[in-house]
Structure 1
């Protein structure tokens, strides 16, 4: 069982006192006490793996009861999610634990000019987290925050004029920046580094970067508002593979889901076998760094029920994004009292002149996808494919979920 942890017993077990303290905190939450009643100690990785995993609702319950506070600085309260499910809460001290990240991962240095394009404000932590990392690097920082589509042209010209060497944001937002630059002929010859966090890397970004910033390479972080940064990668690592930080203990359960236990004694959130919903595996990274790396295989919630049948959202989107002229696709499921009344596949065109053949694609998807052809056998018009100017995104974070569920009144 211990082979499924990112740290071997000799490295992890001396630090499990943090996990034991976290367990006591959770046992003190009335709504969770019964769950952990039979678990009185965690002194080995086997004991840790036997603990019930925490889901986001459990952690929200614990945080509402505990109300964590930092001992030596201010306490920041953040939330994430809300696009497809209930928001998740997280706490962090000033600095956002980024000193520990910077000690092991340094994509920025003093010579960089860094544009921080993660959305600022509205209780999302990524902008401030990236600012903390950039501050530790000593580089020059342009705090862009949220930028509207109408402003891309002026800001891109400004970034090019300032010789920006690095930019960071969610892949959804970066895709909009780079697609606009490519479509309008803007080039960022000084750009060498692209930092990302919040979503999986999008292969289309590689195509855009090859044209508008051919020297740029990606540097990724994996984590969440509850765990903060779990692992990082470099241009030498596959985009889905991350090296866990020493204070983050990653475990792969028998069902293939990842869970995370934080061994940082300063961590405010009680992160003990916390599940984000991502599947994964421990593997050797081709970059050659020693120790197991974490390969993230994606979320397990991509299959949704449509009139009693399972629809693989990721598979549907992959097919739609192979269509000429399509930059990105998104599935919108409309329900009424829990029953699907319609499915829409939204297509974001790849540039101003692109015009995907939506009706042809609709017919192909309807004929080739068993769930769609069966579920909408008697009302095929309830399955639609349509081009849009913008996909449905989270107004706070700029994230664009693959699936959006809407309740019809």
Structure 2
């Protein structure tokens, strides 16, 4: 089983004392003690792979009991929230610095000459803005922290960025797309922009088209992680957008159904991350960039199946089918529930930046095709097919706190 890990046994073995310490922390939690009662302390990667994986509910239970704190002299303990749009909110803990010293040692997209726009939202307990600020601080560059921007402010800010000689910008792909789409629509260019940092969502292919028009010299630099694991891996412009190189203190394992789990070997990690599953699937492979060692290719989430009237709906498959339609740049599934039952399922379509529209005839054709070809939809809405709808929108539904645009939104109807 050791070939399923991102680190070879000789490298990971000496660091497994951190995993053993994490196991003891989890055993100290009354609600989890029985789960790990018969588990021996992991001394090899095979031992580690035999431990039960930790899910989000288990981690929340552990954090509520342990109340992690940074060691004396390490600064404050920050609490950040993730989730809340499609799942229950989760809390992660981090010391001052947010573990970015280790990231910066391995990955340095910014340098002292950069003027960096930190476009990750700073409010409502989301850590990405502060994490990026810590990385930028280590690089010694100049930083513009813009915060939230309203629609009528984009043009003025973009003009300011061009005049200031902004060389780098960072944010979630959903937020970055707003910046570049507004710039493209207004005919504005950012000639000095060379670097685009991203974290929080998968890279969106349509960003490449906008970047080519607005900042043809810009190239992407990505991070992969979560509020619980913090940064697991990074990539460079020479790596595919879905492929990341794990940090030395992050042990990645590929398990059943290609599910990824993460074990943090950083002794200063506050969250007890031991075979922690985020719901992402992936594989280990050699990266085309040529960097030695296995890289992690992220294949997408395996928890995108939702119950619609007792049947499983594969949200990612529905979105992928819609995004193959001409003129559709992104799609989103909106489920409206009444008393816990799906009253309607709507497929929202965002048209492309080239202005290509999806007309009423195309929308109805797509709706009929999906309804007849998707077992869950055809069965669940057999008696009320009008409750499955497809409609173009000017913008998708985003999380006001983080700027993320989830593929699935569930809301309670009136």
Give the TM interval when normalised to the shorter protein. Answer: over 0.9
Distance 2:326 2:2 in 1: 47
2:403 is aligned to 398
State whether residues 83 and 393 of structure 1, in contact with CA within 8 Å, keep that contact through their aligned partners in structure 2. Answer: no
What is the CA distance between 1:84 and its match in structure 2?
A: 0.2
After the TM superposition, which residues 142-221 of structure 1 pair with which residues of structure 2 at under 5 Å, given as runs?
142-221=144-223
1:258 to 257, 260, 278: 260
State whether residues 118 and 397 of structure 1, in contact with CA within 8 Å, keep that contact through their aligned partners in structure 2. Answer: yes
2:233 to 231, 234, 255: 231
Distance 1:305 1:179 in 2: 34
Deviations 1:163-217 (Å, cap 9, x if unpaired)?
1111000011111111111112111111111100001001010111111111111
What is the CA distance between 1:354 and its match in structure 2?
A: 4.6
State whether residues 6 and 251 of structure 1, in contact with CA within 8 Å, keep that contact through their aligned partners in structure 2. Answer: yes
1:329 is aligned to 331
Give the aligned length. Answer: 409
1:45 is aligned to 45
Distance 1:100 1:2 in 2: 25
TM-score, normalised with respect to structure 1: 0.96
> Does 1:387 pair with 2:389?
no
1:183 is paired with a residue whose SS is helix
State whether residues 320 and 326 of structure 1, in contact with CA within 8 Å, keep that contact through their aligned partners in structure 2. Answer: yes
What is the CA distance between 1:353 and its match in structure 2?
A: 4.9
What is the CA distance between 1:154 and its match in structure 2?
A: 1.2
State whether residues 6 and 244 of structure 1, in contact with CA within 8 Å, keep that contact through their aligned partners in structure 2. Answer: yes
1:60 is aligned to 60
After the TM superposition, which residues 277-356 of structure 1 pair with which residues of structure 2 at under 5 Å, given as runs?
277-351=279-353, 353-356=355-358
> Does 1:276 pair with 2:281?
no
Distance 1:41 1:360 in 2: 58
State whether residues 222 and 231 of structure 1, in contact with CA within 8 Å, keep that contact through their aligned partners in structure 2. Answer: yes
1:370 is aligned to 375
What is the CA distance between 1:332 and its match in structure 2?
A: 0.7
1:174 is paired with a residue whose SS is helix
2:140 is aligned to 138
State whether residues 183 and 352 of structure 1, in contact with CA within 8 Å, keep that contact through their aligned partners in structure 2. Answer: no
2:109 is aligned to 107
2:277 is paired with a residue whose SS is coil
2:9 is aligned to 9
Q: Which runs of 5+ in 1 are unaligned?
A: none
TM-score, normalised with respect to structure 2: 0.95
Over the aligned positions, Cα root-mean-square deviation in angstroms equals 1.5
Out of 144-153 and 108-117, give the one that drifted further: 144-153
What is the CA distance between 1:348 and its match in structure 2?
A: 2.3
Distance 1:200 1:352 in 2: 22
1:23 is aligned to 23
2:38 is paired with a residue whose SS is coil
Deviations 1:237-288 (Å, cap 9, x if unpaired)?
1111100000000111123110001011111111111110101111110111
Deviations 1:60-113 (Å, cap 9, x if unpaired)?
111111111111211111011111000111010110000000000001111111
Distance 1:273 1:86 in 2: 20
2:77 is aligned to 75
What is the CA distance between 1:303 and its match in structure 2?
A: 2.4
Deviations 1:2-46 (Å, cap 9, x if unpaired)?
111111111001011111111111111111111111124121111
State whether residues 328 and 349 of structure 1, in contact with CA within 8 Å, keep that contact through their aligned partners in structure 2. Answer: yes
Q: Which runs of 5+ in 2 are unaligned?
A: none
State whether residues 180 and 351 of structure 1, in contact with CA within 8 Å, keep that contact through their aligned partners in structure 2. Answer: no
